[in-house]
Chain A
Amino acid sequence: MTENRSRSRRVLGVSLILVAIVLCFFTPFLWIVSNSFKPQLTIFADVTPLSWKTFLPVHPVLENYRTLFARTNILHALLNTAIVSAAQVALTLVLCSMAAYALTRIRFRGSKVVFALILLTFLLPVEAMLVPLYQVVSGLGLDNTLLGVMIPWIASPFGLFLLKQSFEELPRDLEDAARIDGAGHLRTFVSVILPNVKVPLLTLGLVTFLFSWNSFLWPLVIAQAPEIQLIQVAIAQQGSPTQLPNWGETFAGATVATLPLILLFLLLQKYFTQGMAMSGIKG
C-alpha cells in the first residue's frame, strides 16, 4: 500500500518536472510560431487573458509571410546564408582533415611547434578579435563579399582537434597495407583515411553549419551591403517590439530563419549532440 503510494507520488513528481520543462523551453517557440500566423491585433488580444488561444492560431493567416517576403530582402539573405554555410562547411572539412592527416599520419620535424601554434589560437576569444580582423579582411578587399564572411573561420582549431582525435584512433595497419601497395600520402589520405572517419566529418560539418548559420556579430560588421546581407543580420534589422508596427512579421522572420536548422537538428540529433559535447571535451 505505502509502496504504491510512494510510486504514484514519484510518477506525479516526474510528470510535474516534465510539464515544467516543456512549459519553460518549448512554449516560447510555440508562441512565436503560432503568432506568426496571426494578425497583430489578435496577437495582442490573445495574450491577456491567457488561454489556449495564446498558443494556437484559431484563424491562421499567411499575411505576415506574404509581406515578409514581398517587403524585405529575406529570401536573398536566406540564399546568401545557405551559400556561405555550405561553402564554409566544405572548406573547413577539407582544410581541417588535411591538416589533421599531416599531424597524425606523417612524421616530420617541427610537428609539435605547429601543433602548439594551433593550440594557442583555440584559446583566443573570437569576439575580442573583431576590430583588427575587420581591418585585415577589409584590407584584403573582402569586405562586403560572401568570401569575407566565411574565410576567417575556415582554418578552425576546433575542427582540427576533433578530427585529429578521431584520426589518432584509426589503426596503423590500415595505411601500412596501402603503403605496401605503393600508395602515396595523397592516395592514403583520400582512399584509406577519409572513408573511415565519416562520422567525425559529419559531426564537424554539422557543428560548423550551426555556427555559420547562426553567426551574427561578424556578418554585421563585414557584410553591410543589402545585397550580401545574411539571415541573422536581416532578422536583427526587423527591430524591437516598440519600433516595429508588425509583431507577426518579425515572428515570421524568426521562424523562417530558424526552421532549416531545427529540421536539420531533429533529423541528425545524435551527431549534433555529439558535436556539441565534443566542443566541450578538450580539458
Chain B
Amino acid sequence: MSATFEQTSSDMAGLAPDRRRRRRRDTATALAFLAPFLLLLLIFQYLPLAMMAKNSVLDYSLLNPHAAKFVGLRNFTDMLDYEDMRESLAATFLFALGVVVIVIPLGFALALFLNSKLRARGLVRTIIMLPVVTSAVVVATMWNFLLDPSNGLLNGVITALGLPRQPFLTSPDQALLMVSIMTAWQQVGFAAILFLGGLQGVPNELAEAARIDGATKRQVLWNITIPLLSRTTLFVVVIMTVFSLQAFAPAFLMTDGGPRDSTNLIVYHIYKTAFVMQNAGYASALSLVLLVIVLGISLLQMWILRARWNY
C-alpha cells in the first residue's frame, strides 16, 4: 500500500498531460464515492468530539445551551473535590474487572469445548450465542426478575437447595457482583467465539509433536495452547473492558445506580448528570475523562500487539 503510494507520487512530475488529467479525474471520482461517508463522519464523530472538549469548560444546561458560562477548568477541579467521580469510576472498574475475571476463563473453556469433535458443539454454540444477540434491555429485565428477592427464579433455586434467600440487587454488597455476573453471562458466548477464532489459528503440529514427546494433554494446554493465545486473550480482555466501561442498561434498569451508589456506572452517571440534573458542562468533562481512559486502553493494546508483531 505505502510502496505504491510513494511510487505514484514520485513519478508525478513526468506524467503526460492526459495521464495527469485521468489522475485528477480519479481523485474526483474517489471523493465522490467517499463524500457521503466522510460528511456524516465529520458531522457525527468529529464535530461532537470538538464540542465535547469545548463544552467541558462551560457551565450550561441542555434545556438552554445558549446561556452557557465559561468556567475554565472548574468542572475538572470539581471532579477532584467531589466524591462522585471517584466513586463512579471505582464502581465501573470493579464492574469491568468482575466481567473480565468471569468471562476470560469461561469463554476460553467454552471455546475449547467448541473446538473439540463433540457432536453437541453446534447446539452449544447456538445456546451460548442466544444471550449475545439478546438486547441489554431484555437481559437486564430478565435478570431483574431472576434476581427478585421474593419471587425470583434464583431464590427459588437457592431455597430448593435448602439455602437462605439472598437480597441480591437490594444489597450494597451483592448488587455490583450480580450486575457483573449478568453482563458476563451475556458476553461469554462472544468471548468464546473470539477465542475459538484464536484456537483455530494454532497450528496442530506443535501440539502433536509435544504429544509424541510424551506431554500430557494438560501440559500441552498450559505450555503450548495458552501461551500461543496470549494475543487473543489480551484482545478479548480489552474488548470486554472497553465494553464494560460503557455499560448503561444495568444501572438504569436494575439498580438506579444503587444501593448507596454501589452500581453508579460512569455512563449512567454521565446520563443523569446531563439529562436529569441538567448539568451538561460537568457531564461533558466526565465524558472527556471516560473518552481518554478508553482511548488509552485501546492505544495501549495496539502498542503491545504491535511490539509483539515485530519479534
Partner of A235 from B4, B137, B270 at Cβ < 8 Å: B137
Check B146 for interface membership: any CB of A closer than 8 A. Answer: yes
Check B142 for interface membership: any CB of A closer than 8 A. Answer: yes
Known: A128-B246, A132-B284. 8 other contacts (CB 8 A): A49-B156, A102-B33, A129-B45, A133-B44, A216-B248, A235-B138, A254-B138, A283-B305
**Chain A min CB distance to B238 (Å):** 8
Check B219 for interface membership: any CB of A closer than 8 A. Answer: no
Q: Which residues of B contact A151 (CB under 8 A)?
A: 40, 44
Q: A131-B284, A277-B197 are in contact. Are A214 and B62 (CB under 8 A)?
A: no
Partner of A258 from B8, B134, B280 at Cβ < 8 Å: B134
Of the candidate stretches A60-68, A170-178, A268-276, the one touching chain B is A268-276
Contact with B along A67-89 (1 / 0, CB 8 A): 00000000000000000000000
Partner of A129 from B36, B48, B62, B252 at Cβ < 8 Å: B48
**Chain A min CB distance to B210 (Å):** 21
Partner of B65 from A26, A111, A135, A213 at Cβ < 8 Å: A135
Check A32 for interface membership: any CB of B closer than 8 A. Answer: yes
Q: Which residues of B contact A128 (CB under 8 A)?
A: 52, 246, 267, 270, 287-288, 290-291, 294
Q: Cβ of A240 and Cβ of B253 under 8 Å apart?
A: yes
Q: Which residues of A contact B249 (CB under 8 A)?
A: 216-217, 236
Of the candidate stretches B69-77, B93-101, B124-132, B220-228, the one touching chain A is B124-132
* Complex CA–CA separation, A130 to B51 (angstroms): 11
* Complex CA–CA separation, A118 to B254 (angstroms): 36
Count of chain A to chain B residue pairs whose CB atoms are closer than 8 Å in the complex:
280
Q: Cβ of B290 and Cβ of A125 under 8 Å apart?
A: yes
Q: Which residues of A contact B159 (CB under 8 A)?
A: 48-50
* Complex CA–CA separation, A121 to B45 (angstroms): 7
Q: Cβ of A269 and Cβ of B126 under 8 Å apart?
A: yes
Of the candidate stretches A1-9, A91-99, A196-204, the one touching chain B is A91-99
Q: Cβ of B36 and Cβ of A95 under 8 Å apart?
A: yes
* Complex CA–CA separation, A54 to B48 (angstroms): 49
Q: Cβ of A125 and Cβ of B294 under 8 Å apart?
A: yes
Check B152 for interface membership: any CB of A closer than 8 A. Answer: yes
B194 and chain A: residue at smallest CB distance: A280
Q: Cβ of A272 and Cβ of B151 under 8 Å apart?
A: no
B1, B31, B34 — which one has the most chain A CB atoms within 10 A of its CB? B34
Contact with B along A99-141 (1 / 0, CB 8 A): 1011100111111101001100101111111111111110000
Q: Cβ of B287 and Cβ of A131 under 8 Å apart?
A: yes
Q: Cβ of B302 and Cβ of A272 under 8 Å apart?
A: no
Q: Which residues of A contact B137 (CB under 8 A)?
A: 214, 216, 232, 235-236, 257
Q: Cβ of A124 and Cβ of B133 under 8 Å apart?
A: no
Partner of B146 from A14, A28, A266 at Cβ < 8 Å: A28
Q: Which residues of A contact B284 (CB under 8 A)?
A: 131-132
Size bin of chain A's contact surface: 35 or more
* Complex CA–CA separation, A184 to B177 (angstroms): 59
**A residues with CB within 8 A of B:** 14, 17-18, 21-22, 24-26, 28-29, 31-32, 43-44, 47-50, 54, 94-96, 98-99, 101-103, 106-112, 114, 117-118, 121, 123-137, 151-155, 157, 160, 185, 189, 210, 213-214, 216-217, 221, 232, 235-236, 238, 240-241, 247, 250-251, 254, 257-258, 261-262, 265-266, 269, 272-273, 276-277, 280-281, 283
B51 and chain A: residue at smallest CB distance: A132
Q: Cβ of B135 and Cβ of A22 under 8 Å apart?
A: no
Partner of A47 from B126, B156, B190, B253 at Cβ < 8 Å: B156
Q: Cβ of A247 and Cβ of B38 under 8 Å apart?
A: no
Check B57 for interface membership: any CB of A closer than 8 A. Answer: no
**Chain B min CB distance to A56 (Å):** 14
Q: Which residues of B contact A99 (CB under 8 A)?
A: 33-34, 37-38
Partner of A130 from B2, B146, B274 at Cβ < 8 Å: B274
* Complex CA–CA separation, A214 to B39 (angstroms): 26
Q: Is the interface of A mostly helix, strand, loop or mixed?
A: helix
Q: Cβ of A132 and Cβ of B146 under 8 Å apart?
A: no
* Complex CA–CA separation, A108 to B12 (angstroms): 12
Q: A125-B246, A258-B138, A262-B130 are in contact. Are A106 and B37 (CB under 8 A)?
A: no
21 A-B Cβ contacts within 8 A?
A14-B120, A49-B156, A102-B29, A108-B31, A114-B34, A123-B294, A125-B290, A125-B295, A130-B270, A135-B55, A157-B41, A216-B248, A217-B271, A235-B137, A235-B141, A236-B141, A236-B249, A257-B135, A262-B133, A272-B129, A272-B133
Q: A98-B33, A131-B274, A240-B253 are in contact. Are A214 and B136 (CB under 8 A)?
A: yes
Check B118 for interface membership: any CB of A closer than 8 A. Answer: yes
Q: Cβ of B130 and Cβ of A29 under 8 Å apart?
A: yes
Q: A125-B242, A216-B135, A283-B301 are in contact. Are A96 and B156 (CB under 8 A)?
A: no
Q: Which residues of B contact A26 (CB under 8 A)?
A: 127, 130
Q: Which residues of B contact A131 (CB under 8 A)?
A: 52, 55, 62, 270, 274, 280, 283-284, 287
Q: Cβ of B245 and Cβ of A109 under 8 Å apart?
A: no
* Complex CA–CA separation, A155 to B39 (angstroms): 9
A278 and chain B: residue at smallest CB distance: B197
Partner of A108 from B27, B131, B236, B274 at Cβ < 8 Å: B27
Q: Cβ of A127 and Cβ of B246 under 8 Å apart?
A: yes
